[in-house]
Amino acid sequence: MATTKILIIGGTGWIGKFMVEASAKAGHPTFALVRESTLSDPAKTPIIQSFKTLGGDIHDHESLVKAIKQVDVVISTVSYMHLPDQFKIISAIKEAGNVKFGNDVDHANGVDEAKSLIFDDKVQIRRTIESEGIPYTYVVANFFTGHFLPTLSELIATPTPLHKVIILGDGNPRAVFNTEEDVATYTIRTVDDPRTLNKTLYIKQLANTLSCNDLVSLWEKKTGKTLERVYVTEDELLKQIQESSFPVNMGLAICHAAFVKEEHTNFQIDPSFGVEASQLYPHVKYTTVDELLDEKYNRTPFYLNQFIPVNKV
């Protein structure tokens, strides 16, 4: 049975709850830093019951240090809205292992909206961890399918009707899609694995690496429907980003990095600093995009239809 004690910061959040479940399932003593206001929130009760709570607050240095001293590994799943708070975690964690996850910002050259809102902060967080000598594993999750492959029921209002599909550029650059559950499973696998120490784990399975054109063609094959493909040029996309407000501009900027600049896949993993998850853990059964587009999951390729009106293309 696993004995490594894991503290998950952000354990009641969107990805945090998957991380908690994966950690507990693997047999690790699993803890989460939970504020008093969260403990009293009825909506959070089912999640809180799945782990041991450690009282504390990310903004209270003493309580944060106290919580970290009780565990062996810290996994931070704080959202992009709270990225600067990770520096508070770093200051309290110098003697603890630290597992991070997110876009591969060391290979990112996104437009200003993505760089200023996310990428630049993440680069600075990484460099600070390294300069402090904290043992780490960075986890590059790429696109979460729960967000970037919405179901039809989640597409409540779309400016572009669903007999059409928005495609960026020529639709050929490839991006990587992973379920939240699989990202959590792979992340927990790294906890006691010396092969991932001070390296980046890329969750980059070939079966889940698809272009927009691939994604649409696969959905059409699954459903027997044919979509009208609306191609948005890079110049048109950049104009949309500049004219949009947060969070739409950020979402479009991230898609620009993946679907136009191909930043999920335009580099080779150097074994001196990185490893690929499915190669490192070949026995882990992960969910493929092909499976997600089946009727059981009902995922779709209409993410961009939510943000780009066809009459503006």
Q: Which residues are catalytic?
A: 122
- Residue of 50, 66, 65, 42 lying closest to 11 (CA atoms): 50
Measure the CA–CA gap between 30 and 49, rounded to whole angstroms. Answer: 11
Structure tokens at 176: 């990587």
Taken in order 77, 80, 85, 91, the sign of the CA dihedral is positive
Instruction: Tell me the two tokens of residue 263.
Output: 């930043």
Work out the burial of residue 131: count CB atoms within 10 Å of its CB; fewer than 13 is exposed, 13-18 middle, 19 or more buried.
exposed
105 is written with which tokens?
């910002």
Task: Report the relative pairing of strands 199-202 and 73-76 from DSSP bridges.
Answer: unpaired
Which amino acid is located at 274 in the chain?
G
Q: Are 248 and 153 in contact (CB under 8 A)?
A: no
Residue 309, beta-bridge partner list: none
Among 253, 217, 254, 232, residue whose Cα is nearest residue 160: 232
- Measure CA of the first residue to CA of the last residue in the chain; give whole Å: 56
Nearest residue to 118 (alpha-carbon basis) of 86, 166, 150:
86
Q: Which residues touch 26 (CB under 8 Å, ≥6 apart)? A: 2, 188, 189
